[in-house]
Homo-oligomer: A and B are copies of this chain.
């Protein structure tokens, strides 16, 4: 971006590693005089989804994942001699596009990994599942707490999102706070967990925020993102307000969305149904949360993930279908998911026209997802099953939430993140409206670029 390197010796640098040319493999590095911090280290999922089946079932290696561009290209940090300066990998939350590359790349850094309890618990599962070898120490940081690394205070600010214990991360430097705010919504009725820590954000604004790296995924949606409470009400309407007394109810949603799962279980109990959770991914996230006592409904459900157990349970369901609520994987139509298999009669489970299938999600709009979902929905319709879609609210902030955040923390520089140029453009336009200037205080960067701030 700038030509005369020597004049910036004292500057703070931001290295855009991943997530600036795609939605996924988020990774940003903050480089200070002698230290550096990495924010997030996630996977890019589409190339993994599109891999040949033969590859899918092997354990993944760093090399293979690099070859298909599924992990951030952090080799640029080696070239710039930044790698050795990295002290911490700071992860915001438990989603794979933010934490999923740690098992493959974390080992390259002589650095401690820090995250909230749920995030670290999920990370441990990922490490185990991938048989990854990692020597990095782990630090569990409670939401709304902080720790010191040398002269730098690092703070995890509680935030709401579509999974538990999500944080914005603030690094306090001599030149001001660098605030990493990827993946959040401002939800005042989050069903599970605390509300966003607006007070602390306002305080940071007063202390002085040098730079805000911020989620722009839905910055083009001219609205405040509706609360999780809305999703709960929509679920209530569909689960309690339609005629389902003679059929089985099958719901699919994001496996890590424990608040959503709580609402589903609550209404399942009101319907007096036995509740079955089917699928490996559900098992992974719900178990991790249970170990931390974060699942209030743990005793109300049965978690089943092995295929032959699933088959056995489904036999029982068929005998008295109107006594059961099934929660399962497959909301994006993923081949091999429980809903996909159900739709293909894989376990000899026969749908009845009295059955309801509820998608408590929205399609992440890639062509492959659209086709997968369409295939499943078509099969379900042929069986006469009744379908309810989009019983959901998003976990990402809209344009008006972003305006509130920017007003609150009043940063000197804004760096839109989480998506290709197309996704980040609307946030750049909003910042423009608010007085920021492109190339001066507002920065559109690409993977592999370095930004110097003062």
Contact = CB atoms under 8 A, between A and B. Distances in A.
A353 to B, nearest CB: 10
Interface string A224-237: 10110110011001
Q: Give the residue among A2, A370, A371, A444 with the most B Cβ atoms within 10 A.
A: A371
Given A420-B429, A439-B445, A445-B438, A242 B374 contact: no
Interface residues of A, number: 65
B400 A223 contact: no
Contacts of A240: 188
A227 B241 CA distance: 10
Q: Give the residue among A229, A390, A421, A433 with the most B Cβ atoms within 10 A.
A: A421
B222 A230 contact: no
B449 A437 contact: yes
Q: Copies of this chain, how many?
A: 4
Contacts of A9: none
Contact of A438 (B386, B390, B408, B444): B444
Interface string A369-399: 0111111000001001011111000000000
Given A374-B367, A421-B428, A429-B420, A224 B237 contact: yes
Interface in A1-34: 1-4, 7, 21
A222 B407 contact: no
Contact of A390 (B2, B189, B223, B403): B223
A1 B439 contact: yes
Nearest to A52: B344
A184 interface: no
A129 interface: no
Nearest to A450: B439
Contact of A388 (B224, B229, B242, B390): B224
Interface string A403-439: 1100110000000000011100110110011000111
Contacts of A238: 224
A437 B446 contact: yes
Contacts of A404: 242-243
Contacts of A407: 243
A428 B388 CA distance: 19
A416 to B, nearest CB: 11
A324 interface: no
Interface of A: 1-4, 7, 21, 50, 186, 188-189, 222-224, 226-227, 229-230, 233-234, 237-238, 240-243, 366-368, 370-375, 381, 384, 386-390, 400, 403-404, 407-408, 420-422, 425-426, 428-429, 432-433, 437-440, 443-446, 449, 454
